[in-house]
Amino acid sequence: MSHSLTVVQWLLLAVAVQQSIFAVAWLAISKFAGLARLSARYWAVFCGVGSVSILLLALRGNSPDLLSYQVADVLLVVSATAARHASALFFDRPTPRLEHGLIIGLAILGAGLTGTSVRLEEWRIAVVCLLIAWIAVRAVWGVHANMAREFGPTISLALHIPTLIVAAALLWRGAAVFLGNADALNYRSAHLVNELLTLLLLLVASFLSLVYGGMLMARLVRRLRDLALKDTLTGLLNRRAAQELLEREWAAYRQKDLPFCVLMIDIDHFKHINDAYGHAVGDKVLTGLAARLREGTRPSDHAARMGGEEFLVFLPQTELPSARAAAERLRQHIATWTLEPEHLTVTVSIGVAQATAADQAFDDLLIRADSALYAAKAAGRNQVHLAQTTEAEGASLAMA
């Protein structure tokens, strides 16, 4: 016997339609987007399975009890585990497959034991609500720190506070079985709380997909920007990005007379390393040196790979004596590093130059730093040399 639909059931139908649309969108993203492809597939599962489950819930009283009670409840739990799995994959967190398997097993067991009995319906609802609330809380706990680091605490809180509100609402519905609140358990009743909770589900389900879609786009844009401005092997700035940075700093120097220096760095005997050990080891040397540059510079400094085995370090608001000391610290830091398992020691030669009024453009600064670098190599390598600032020969530090 069919029954007319309540306001809550119509709202559930709206959620089901909305989720099916999002499922198709996530499937398209997983097919055509290279980033977070597996995560997008799980979001499609979350939306697709969720839409089927919510549709069956909305049609209770107008569809077979087995589908609208037992199958719908189990699918709802499966959908929630898919959402948690998707968020864990998106932020490279461990995926709790065993925990999810146990949760789905408990949902199936609960549905099997309670069947479609009206007398036991409240217990089935309690089990499903508590399981989904557990999944939501665990999902927030698992990715909140990673999300805050990548996208900022505001975005993380904006996404997770509504999720925790839904979890709290589900906990309340689950606890209602012990409180004897029949209206809280019978979602089909025309009760204002039920209508508000269902509307909250509609909004949060939409919000989750939209926010994660936005984060995926932000990550894609950032990745494309990195490809344009970062060296693919070392992760440092590439030559183009370094030139753009120097242009900006050169303009600031001309306007505000803010001092800055550059270090031009070259790996000693790099061709011999490639010839003797192979290009794979040469690449390890380059990536290892990049790591040492990150470790040995300030957060305000910028390191770039200018090409081949040549690197540049930009030191803002730094005078020449401080830059010389920084260069020597870097040289020593690199000289103490041994590449394993080849037991290969790497040294560098460094040229140091400070921007001066005599420089007509930042290219002049780079030419002087390059000249100092070649002077260091000509003097025996593994040294720091200062660029000429006058017609006289520039000072040098020879520290083999």
Reduce the DSSP state of residue 271 to 3 states and report it: helix
- Start-to-end CA distance of the chain, whole Å, equals 93
For residues 90-117, average pLDDT: 86
Mean pLDDT score of the chain: 83
Rounded to 5 degrees, what are φ and ψ at 325? -65, -40
Rounded to 5 degrees, what angle do the CA atoms 75, 81, 82 make?
85
47 by Cβ neighbours in 10 Å (0-12 / 13-18 / 19+) ranks as: buried
Per-residue confidence band for 84, with pLDDT thresholds at 50, 70 and 90: very high
In the DSSP assignment, the letter for residue 399 is -
For residues 364-389, average pLDDT: 91
Please name which of 44, 54, 39 lies closest in space to residue 22, comparing C-alpha atoms. Answer: 44
pLDDT in tens, 111-131: 888 766 656 777 777 888 889
Least confident among 38-47, 72-81, 96-105, 222-231: 222-231
Helices (H) and strands (E) in the chain, counts: 14, 8
For residues 149-154, average pLDDT: 87
Q: What is the DSSP string of 32-90?
A: H--TTHHHHHHHHHHHHHHHHHHHHHHTTTSS-HIIIIIIHHHHHHHHHHHHHHHHHHH
The answer to whether the Cα torsion of 299, 305, 311, 315 is positive or negative is: negative
pLDDT at position 284 is 93
Residue type, 320: L
Say if CB 352 and CB 386 are below 8 A apart. yes
Asked whether the predicted pLDDT for residue 288 surpasses 70, the reply is yes
Asked whether the predicted pLDDT for residue 196 surpasses 80, the reply is no
Give Cα 310 distance to the centre of its chain: 30
Say if CB 107 and CB 74 are below 8 A apart. yes
For residues 365-393, average pLDDT: 84
Least confident among 24-38, 228-242, 385-399: 385-399
Long-range contacts of 156-164 (CB under 8 A, 24+ apart): 158/211, 159/207, 159/208, 159/211, 162/200, 162/203, 162/204, 162/207, 163/136, 163/139, 163/204, 163/208, 164/136, 164/137, 164/140
Please name which of 296, 292, 295, 282 lies closest in space to residue 233, comparing C-alpha atoms. Answer: 282
